[in-house]
Amino acid sequence: MILDVVIVLVMAVPMLLFGVYPGLLLGDFLEKKHNIEEGLKRKIVIITTIVFTITLSSILHYL
């Protein structure tokens, strides 16, 4: 179990390259649509990038 978690986290490092773009798109969309401030936009971009990266590496590992 712990080995699977370590493998997923190690695989998440290169997946960051694929996770940044969706995070930026979501942040820009929410900024334009809901007029959010810059600090909240940064938090949304970072959280989206991390969630997308972990999800992508988990799918790659378990499939």
Asked if residues 41 and 29 have their Cβ atoms less than 8 Å apart, the reply is no
Spell out a b/e string for 2-31, using b for 16 or more CB atoms within 10 Å of the CB, else e.
eeeeeebeebbeebeeebeebbeebbeebb
| Structure-block tokens of residue 63 | 């499939």
Average pLDDT over residues 14-26: 90
pLDDT at position 18 is 87
Q: Helices (DSSP H) in 1-63: which residue ranges?
A: 2-34, 38-62
- Read off the pTM: 0.82
Average pLDDT over residues 35-43: 91
pLDDT tens, residue by residue, 3-19: 988 988 898 898 888 88
pLDDT tens, residue by residue, 42-58: 999 999 999 999 999 99
